[in-house]
Amino acid sequence: MNLRLIDWIWNVRGSVPLPPGQSSEDAFERLDPLFHEYGTTHERTSDTLTFTKKDQPAQDKMSVFDAGVLQIEQNTSGAVLRYRMSSRALLFCFLAPLLFVGFGQLNIAIGKLEGQKTEAADKAKKDKKKDEVRELHPVDKFLGAPAPEKPKKDKEKDKEDKHSPTSAYVFAGLFALLYGVGRILEDRLIKGRFRKLLNGQ
């Protein structure tokens, strides 16, 4: 299986054109402050920079990324900065919905299994004795009060709520939304940040 087909899930790729006449040395000098944050280590050659991050603080403008490669290429239209950066946070947000959906399905399966057991037990009890119904006080009957509900119904409802997959599906939806927003937003933010630094803004 070609990893490139799925690594877009946790990798951000892109390119930013360098200003006319800007050399690789000048470009990396302008980007250099990004790689002097706490927990960041980097190595640089003439046209390539690689970095890794560990325990990066939230104040780090690239905290969502854990490693990456930045390379400057020359083409007919001028120099271009190309980058590929990986993020465990994006991967987690992508996998979390699948995990919660799995929990939801497991809850449904457990609920069905317990429901079958309860139904079998209730059927056995009915063969021996009918459900007892509490009698109303004569005064309550005269006033037209409704008959009390059987406690069994409440128990059945509690069991249904206990194994409801709703909470798991809600969390799955939240993480899916978080991944979608984060994937698009981080792509745009990092490209904009690189562009501003390269242009001296």
Question: What's the pLDDT at 91?
Answer: 92
Residue 176 contacts by C-beta under 8 Å, 6 or more apart in sequence? 97
Arithmetic mean of pLDDT over the chain? 83
Contact 68, 83 (CB under 8 A): yes
Are residues 187 and 136 part of one domain?
A: no
Range name among 9-18, 70-79, 112-121 with the lowest pLDDT average: 112-121
Are residues 152 and 120 part of one domain?
A: yes
Q: C-alpha 3: how far from its chain's center?
A: 21
pLDDT in tens, 170-198: 888 998 998 899 889 999 999 999 999 99
Are residues 8 and 82 part of one domain?
A: yes
Domain carrying residue 8: 3-91+182-198
- Domain of 18, CATH number, reads 3.30.310.80
Are residues 106 and 145 part of one domain?
A: yes
Question: What's the pLDDT at 42?
Answer: 93
pLDDT in tens, 118-155: 777 777 777 665 555 556 666 556 566 666 665 555 55
Are residues 101 and 84 part of one domain?
A: no
pLDDT in tens, 54-111: 999 988 989 999 999 999 998 878 899 999 999 999 999 999 988 888 888 888 888 7
More confident site: 115 or 84? 84
Question: What's the pLDDT at 161?
Answer: 61
Are residues 143 and 105 part of one domain?
A: yes
Are residues 83 and 139 part of one domain?
A: no
* CA 104/CA 100 separation, integer angstroms: 6
Number of structural domains the chain divides into: 2
Are residues 114 and 73 part of one domain?
A: no
Res. 160: pLDDT tops 70: no
Are residues 172 and 102 part of one domain?
A: yes
* CA 42/CA 31 separation, integer angstroms: 12
Are residues 96 and 21 part of one domain?
A: no
Are residues 63 and 32 part of one domain?
A: yes
Are residues 97 and 71 part of one domain?
A: no
Res. 38: pLDDT tops 80: yes
The Cβ of residue 64 has, within 10 Å, a number of other Cβ atoms equal to 20
* CA 56/CA 66 separation, integer angstroms: 8
By C-alpha distance, which of 51, 55, 14 is closest to 33? 51
Strands 11-17 vs 48-53: parallel, antiparallel or unpaired: unpaired
